[in-house]
Structure 1
Amino acid sequence: MPPHDETSPVGPPAGSVRRPPPARAAGSGGGGGRPDPRRPDPRAARRGGDRGRTTAARTDGGATVSARPPAGRKGKPTGKKGKRTAKQKRRRIYKVLASLVVGGLVLLGVFVGVVYANTTVPSLDDVSQAQTTIVYYSDGTTEMARLGSENRVAVTLDQVSEPARDAILAAENRNFYDDPGISITGIARAAWNNLTGGSTQGGSTITQQYVKNTLLTADQTFSRKFQELFLAVKLDNNYSKDEILEGYLNTIYFGRGAYGIQAAAQTYFGVDASALTAQQGAVLAVLVRSPSAYDPANNPEGAQDRWGLVLDGMVEQGWLSSGDRSASTYPEVLPVTGSSLGIPEGPEGLIVYQALAELETKLGKSQDDIASAGYRITTTVNPTYQQAAVETVNSVMADQPDTLRQALVAVDPRTGGVLAYYGGPSGTGLDYANNPRPPGSSFKPYVMATALEQGISISSRRDGSSPQTFPDRPDQPVRNSGGASCGDCTLVQAMTRSLNTTFYGLAYDVGAENVRATALAAMGLGDTWQGTSSPVFNGRKILADPDSDGVGGSIGIGQYAVRPIDQAVGFATLANGGVLHATHYVAQVTDSEGGVVIAPETTVDAGNQVIPADVASDTTLSTEGVAEYSRRSLDDDRPVASKTGTQGQQDSTVNSTDAWMVGYTPSISTAVWMGSDDNSAIQNASGGPIFGSGLPGQIWQEFMDRVLDGTPVEELPTEQLIDGDTGNSVPEVTTEAPRTTTQAPQTTTEAPVTTTEAPPATTEAPPTTTAAPPTTAPPATTSSAGPPGLLPTTTR
């Protein structure tokens, strides 16, 4: 008998009372006899309906209940065995899809949870925001330059006016303070567009924009939007709305090189962000979406149309009254003046370069990093002194040949701070104040100081006759300028008259290397050139022959090159009693919030006694007569120590290539240099040679008088301190070559001769017959009295 089909409905009808079956008839059960009605009929199983299904019957209260196979559509039985209805198939598909969707959602939920948990939002304090570094003059308020690849000045939220904040919110995200940091509709739209090949952009909240601006790229891709979503949500959960809005306002680009609302307020309206009106704020709010397209200078009509929409949005939000909206007029916007970024184009640009180079060493950062760090750099440069330097150079050189080049550097002897710095008219051109050139006779004070240290006094008498030969150049005689000669002169007299033979011989006697050591100490220099504006010098030995590195007696008459800044510093050391303070351009540095980066008290060192005080004093005393002798005395007969210098060849004519005037009072040391780019002969507008007391002397004198005007008169040494060897007295023989009214210039000469060749004689411009400084006039033919018993030289 076939097995019982467990799928057949064999149970009694619901609600019926099951009764026990009747007793089986005798003989029933096996082989023949009457079939048991409770057993399935094998024949019924072979009739229609589902295979394997049978019709079973049971008695229930005498009635027979049949169990029939399920009917198909319209009551018909299903098809062949193993087939299912279409409805069953659809149900099965739906179940599978539902399972996949549920599983996918579960997996997506797990994925989202894991990604969210592992998404790290950096501290807003650590988010890199390049800010504008501002360089100030010594007063801390007068701006010299704004630096950086971005014009950005970070401010706190309370430093942005409320109307300006409302305008930005009205334009970009009116529900900012209520949203979860993201726009669901915007993200969905972006995702759908990405899947269907449409535009990838979608609406972004301020939080999303901030994430994009600071933490992500601006690429409109789905993956970037996905990152933006998680970061924005987590940023919104980790920080307050005010913190996010503050960061956002400091990162927006408003056009015209302005990053952040503070820079934008200054660029477009010349005010701080705290002073922005609703109308001005609306102008800036329009720029957020497209700075160039809606700059009022480029698109005034479009800019004003959108400006009105922003104000309308403010009214809708209750942030601006209808009356104020009606009374609103488009504010005046500053014209486009070009980028205010980077190094200034004028002379101050060279100061900025020097300050950045100094900070690069002190802070251990690159100049690019410093320029974009938002620092507030206060320099040592006095704005009044700097203005005087630039105006004096421009005034004196107004009618002079444009091939002439000038440099002026002023240093505070008491601190080492640079007070004024003019290295040329271009802030990005060659820095002549940092360019080594032969100093000529302006180097002689270092020879004097070396002699004093060896016990030779300033009253020592030396042979100043001309010409003379010396053991290190027996076939190349040294001559005094203009043929001047003095057989028995004190060193003071020789300094005043700038006698070459005296100081060449003195340098030879005391040792050229010793003179070099004295000068390097006074100038605060090492052994080799580093960081000059002329790369050809970098790495070479300072104050030595550029070819052999040798040092000879020519150092005594200034053959070896130094920079104008070095001369200003070296003379400042003498002015300060032999104490050298490290030269610096930076007085202090703070960050954008006022935090101290470099304190003022750390920029001035304690000083180093590099020259004995009595040596410095007597060296100063020996140079106090030069200014008067050269007709370059300061106003009110203010005491001043100085030295002129002229470098060039002299045979029958004078061919000067470099001219100097260097001098100091106790409070300021100033060096002035003049020359050319190709080391050719320099001439004034009249065609005459330029001497140290000529155009350079005029610039030095006018600058010193201008910056010292109204300041207390400071005394210089008046008594000799070192009573050393006075030398052997020899009969005094003084001769003076006749002066001529004009001197024809020679052809172009090469830069400094080596010690193996005849060194060029240093020459000085002749004093004029009047107190007025010489400018374009040729040397005067009349003489003026010099120190007792001496005649003035023809050049000074």
Structure 2
Amino acid sequence: MVSTPRKPAKRAAKPAAAAGSSARKSKPKRHWVRGLVILFVVLAALGVGGFALAVSLTDVPSPNEVSTSEATIVYWADGKTELGRLGEATRRSVALADVPLDAQHAVLAAEDRTFYEHGGVSPLGIGRAVINNLKGGSTQGGSTITQQYAKNAYLTQDRSWSRKAKELLLAFKLETVVSKDQILEDYLNTIYFGRGAYGIEAASIAYFGTSVENLDAAQAAVLASVIKSPNGLAPEENLPALKARWAYVLDSMIEQGWLTPQQRNSAKFPDINKQKAGNRLGGQTGFLLQAVTDQLITLGFDETEIQRGGLRITSTFEKGAQKGATAAVRKVGPDANTEGLRIGLAAVRPGTGEVVAMYAGKNFIDDQINNATREFAQAGSTFKPFALAAAFEQGVPLGTELNGDSPSTVNGYTFSNYGDKSYGPVSLLQATEFSINSAYVQLESEVGVDAVAESAIRAGVPDTTPGLNLDNLDLTFVLGTASPSGLSMANAYATFASGGIRSEMTYIKSVMGLNGGLLFEYDPKTMVAFDPNIANSVSYTLNKVVTDGTAFAAQKLDRPAAAKTGTTDGNKSAWFVGYTPQLATAVLMAKEDASGLPVSLSGTGGLGTVTGGSYPAAIWTAFMTAALANEPVVDFTPPTGDLTVAPDCPLIMPVDGTKIPVGCPTPSVIEFGPEPSVDASASGAPVPSGAPMPSGVAPEPLQPGDQSAPEPGGAPAPTAVPPPPTDEAVPG
């Protein structure tokens, strides 16, 4: 039997079947690859579409406070020189057109060379950021300028994938709604450059002391360099690294065609200003800025406007005068036994109320209590001019005789003069020159303590002053038991200096908004507090205190001045308040113990007793000399009328009941008998005491008030010449 070839046939068919099987297997593989491609395309499309949708749905939020905050700058009275800044912000915006092209190119070379070519995000930058984030490293320099601005202006500074995703979306969105130039301008105005400087304008001032518009290429490259690491590349910390980065920036500018090789070769690393040491509020600056801030709040500005609103404030403080105040305290103030010592100085412009200078304390950083505006030191005899003005208003002239004895009792109140000195009968002028308590208490009792208090308030002493006791006034008022601030006393005396015109006080001349609009301009609010002749008579008298009395230290000013000293019981405070026609200044000294209670000034600066005529007078004179250095010498307006003329005091009691002028001694009551048959003087007969003298015979002794007050330079003659003013002395 012959075998058939079925099996071989079957074997032969196997390859075919295998081939078919292989074909069937390869077909699903091709479908799989194709599916992957399609899936990738779909996913990519969805991703792009989703990202586009996310970008379109992304709203650009309001910039955060850091990016929009603008430094509020306070200028000296000249309106140009910066005094200081309010708040922590230092940023000051500038237009891109004001930034030199070299500065723009330097920043682009350092941070984003393709800024004007990409759409807000650099793929290489993203890749670098991803790798660095995976490694836990820094992403510094990996983001575009648009991304950096988006992060600084709208987002937080945390390092997370979600924040990075928001940054990318915002960067793309910004590029669709904001121009490249605007993004670059905003970036340059918000980026941090170190030294507390936000924005390229603040950085230019911090590093080179000039505006950005004055930067050259080498200086611009320094600022561009520090953006990468403001602290790590700080010139005072790592100058070699900064110079290396600076060279890299310049070389990059050459690569981009923004700098020629010749310019690069001639470029030298610029001199960088030393970083200002100390706190920006140190010394007197903090006191002055706080005073300005307080007034801004009073004017209605809120904290946000003040701290971040970019206000431009011209203050009333004059730089030269302020420097003179600090120098005066340092040079002629006490330098021994000064623990707990507080010195205050305030200077006010008569007629306008502008505060020209203040010495408020040694250092605002150490102690924020303002000794010039604080009400804590009894005024002492500096209150006597208010009684003088009240007396003048009632027609009491300078020649009025008063009792200068010590101790003395008036209306049941017994008191003593400083040092318990007795002067005997004195004129009102002498009572003022020598600051005689007994005479002034008598004067106060005669013109009325209410009138004296009202005079003080009209002059400018606030009715809320501690110790004023307006509801329970007594004869101690004229002796200065109240505790006004130095600023209030300077303004009160400025009322006399301005011919009786009182003005409100101000630290601010004007306030400009960020856009240059005028928000506030000071317009002095004044009132007539005293008749001009009353004020001029007070000035005449206080000028005599300088030329002939306890304020003689002010003669060193070498120009007409009016002043009054003040020293309190227990030597708890000492004052010197005075003025010229152009400036009124108060200087006060007081001491406190650790708990803030007043203690004696005795021993301060080596003096057994610190009087108003000692250190306060020396400080006043030194300050006024500096503050008025460029001012012309101006005389006081002389008074008119009879106030500086001695009163007509009768020698005998008027039989018709005519009132005796205030301050005149009480005349004797004379019993008249038959007239003598012969001339009494010729016969040698006694003349009744107080009787009229025959013609041609001078009375003996000469009574005060029998002669007119002399021209300025002289004084009405008292019954007895008081001793020299030994109670107020300049430190030897």
| Fold shared per TM-score above 0.5 | yes
User: RMSD in angstroms over aligned alpha carbons?
Assistant: 3.7
1:650-688 deviation per Cα after TM superposition (whole angstroms, max 9, x unaligned):
xxxxxx221111112221111111232333222354543
1:409 deviates by 1.6
1:563 deviates by 1.1
1:757-792 deviation per Cα after TM superposition (whole angstroms, max 9, x unaligned):
xxxxxxxxxxxxxxxxxxxxxxxxxxxx97522313
> How many aligned residue pairs are there?
638
Could you tell me which residue of structure 2 aligns to residue 742 of structure 1? none
- 5 Å-filtered alignment, 1:428-577, equals 428=365, 429=367, 430-436=369-375, 437-453=377-393, 456=396, 460-471=400-411, 474=412, 477-485=414-422, 488-508=425-445, 510-523=447-460, 525=462, 527-528=463-464, 541=466, 543-544=468-469, 550-577=472-499
Contact residue 508 and residue 552 of structure 1 kept, 8 A: no
The aligned amino acid for 1:342 is R
Alpha-carbon distance in structure 2 between the residues aligned to 1:397 and 1:201? 57
Contact residue 63 and residue 154 of structure 2 kept, 8 A: no
Q: Does 1:700 align with 2:640?
A: no
1:275 deviates by 2.4
Alpha-carbon distance in structure 2 between the residues aligned to 1:424 and 1:76? 102
Contact residue 640 and residue 716 of structure 1 kept, 8 A: no
Alpha-carbon distance in structure 1 between the residues aligned to 2:231 and 2:67? 25
1:606 deviates by 3.7
Alpha-carbon distance in structure 1 between the residues aligned to 2:286 and 2:135? 52
SS at match of 1:433: coil
Would the alpha carbon gap of residues 461 and 87 (structure 1) be closer, same or farther in structure 2, given more than 3 Å must change? farther
Could you tell me which residue of structure 2 aligns to residue 303 of structure 1? 242
Alpha-carbon distance in structure 2 between the residues aligned to 1:516 and 1:726? 22
Could you tell me which residue of structure 2 aligns to residue 374 of structure 1? 310
- 5 Å-filtered alignment, 1:98-113, equals 102=42, 105-106=45-46, 109=49, 112-113=52-53
Contact residue 389 and residue 455 of structure 2 kept, 8 A: yes
- 5 Å-filtered alignment, 1:159-238, equals 159-187=98-126, 190=129, 201=139, 203-238=142-177
Contact residue 346 and residue 355 of structure 2 kept, 8 A: yes
TM-score, with normalisation over the residues of structure 2? 0.77
Alpha-carbon distance in structure 1 between the residues aligned to 2:578 and 2:136? 76
The aligned amino acid for 1:569 is N
Contact residue 618 and residue 720 of structure 1 kept, 8 A: no
Contact residue 492 and residue 623 of structure 1 kept, 8 A: no
1:381-440 deviation per Cα after TM superposition (whole angstroms, max 9, x unaligned):
222222322222222226554344432221111211112211232233232212321010
Could you tell me which residue of structure 2 aligns to residue 409 of structure 1? 346
- 5 Å-filtered alignment, 1:69-84, equals 75=20
Alpha-carbon distance in structure 2 between the residues aligned to 1:636 and 1:439? 23
Could you tell me which residue of structure 2 aligns to residue 713 of structure 1? 634
Would the alpha carbon gap of residues 199 and 672 (structure 1) be closer, same or farther in structure 2, given more than 3 Å must change? closer
1:606-664 deviation per Cα after TM superposition (whole angstroms, max 9, x unaligned):
41223444443443344331111222353697433221111124xxxxxx221111112
Could you tell me which residue of structure 2 aligns to residue 744 of structure 1? none
1:585 deviates by 1.4
SS at match of 2:73: strand
Match of 1:610 among 514, 529, 533: 529
Contact residue 399 and residue 716 of structure 2 kept, 8 A: no
Alpha-carbon distance in structure 1 between the residues aligned to 2:50 and 2:335? 82
Could you tell me which residue of structure 1 aligns to residue 697 of structure 2? none
Match of 1:342 among 262, 272, 280: 280
Could you tell me which residue of structure 2 aligns to residue 730 of structure 1? 665
Alpha-carbon distance in structure 1 between the residues aligned to 2:716 and 2:335? 34
Alpha-carbon distance in structure 2 between the residues aligned to 1:729 and 1:487? 14
SS at match of 2:68: coil
Which of the pair is proportionally richer in helix?
Answer: 2
Match of 1:355 among 289, 292, 308: 292
SS at match of 1:359: helix
Could you tell me which residue of structure 1 aligns to residue 687 of structure 2? none
Could you tell me which residue of structure 2 aligns to residue 791 of structure 1? 722
SS at match of 2:184: helix
The aligned amino acid for 2:53 is G
Match of 1:578 among 500, 510, 514: 500
1:505-528 deviation per Cα after TM superposition (whole angstroms, max 9, x unaligned):
444555545533432332262x43
Match of 2:270 among 296, 317, 331: 331
Report which of the two structures shows the higher radius of gyration computed on alpha carbons.
Answer: 1
1:572 deviates by 0.6
Alpha-carbon distance in structure 2 between the residues aligned to 1:787 and 1:700? 29
SS at match of 1:624: helix
Could you tell me which residue of structure 2 aligns to residue 38 of structure 1? none
Contact residue 190 and residue 222 of structure 1 kept, 8 A: no
Contact residue 439 and residue 561 of structure 1 kept, 8 A: yes
Contact residue 60 and residue 174 of structure 2 kept, 8 A: no
1:587 deviates by 1.7
Alpha-carbon distance in structure 2 between the residues aligned to 1:305 and 1:604? 56
Alpha-carbon distance in structure 2 between the residues aligned to 1:104 and 1:506? 101
Would the alpha carbon gap of residues 348 and 224 (structure 1) be closer, same or farther in structure 2, given more than 3 Å must change? closer
Alpha-carbon distance in structure 2 between the residues aligned to 1:498 and 1:198? 79
The aligned amino acid for 2:272 is V
Would the alpha carbon gap of residues 91 and 506 (structure 1) be closer, same or farther in structure 2, given more than 3 Å must change? farther
Alpha-carbon distance in structure 2 between the residues aligned to 1:209 and 1:510? 76
Alpha-carbon distance in structure 1 between the residues aligned to 2:358 and 2:496? 20
Could you tell me which residue of structure 1 aligns to residue 217 of structure 2? 278
1:242 deviates by 1.6
Would the alpha carbon gap of residues 520 and 250 (structure 1) be closer, same or farther in structure 2, given more than 3 Å must change? same
Contact residue 481 and residue 794 of structure 1 kept, 8 A: no
Which consecutive segments of 4 or more residues in structure 1 shift more than 6 A? 84-90, 92-97, 191-194, 196-200, 721-725
Alpha-carbon distance in structure 2 between the residues aligned to 1:193 and 1:90? 39
- 5 Å-filtered alignment, 1:624-643, equals 624-628=543-547, 629-630=549-550, 631-634=552-555, 638-643=559-564
Alpha-carbon distance in structure 2 between the residues aligned to 1:608 and 1:73? 119
Would the alpha carbon gap of residues 721 and 145 (structure 1) be closer, same or farther in structure 2, given more than 3 Å must change? farther
Would the alpha carbon gap of residues 333 and 495 (structure 1) be closer, same or farther in structure 2, given more than 3 Å must change? closer
Match of 2:93 among 134, 139, 154: 154
Alpha-carbon distance in structure 1 between the residues aligned to 2:150 and 2:382? 62
Would the alpha carbon gap of residues 401 and 85 (structure 1) be closer, same or farther in structure 2, given more than 3 Å must change? same
Alpha-carbon distance in structure 2 between the residues aligned to 1:105 and 1:199? 32
Would the alpha carbon gap of residues 373 and 721 (structure 1) be closer, same or farther in structure 2, given more than 3 Å must change? farther
- Unaligned residue ranges in structure 2 (runs of 5+): 1-15, 648-659, 668-713
TM-score, with normalisation over the residues of structure 1? 0.72
SS at match of 2:568: strand
Contact residue 439 and residue 560 of structure 1 kept, 8 A: yes
The aligned amino acid for 1:294 is L
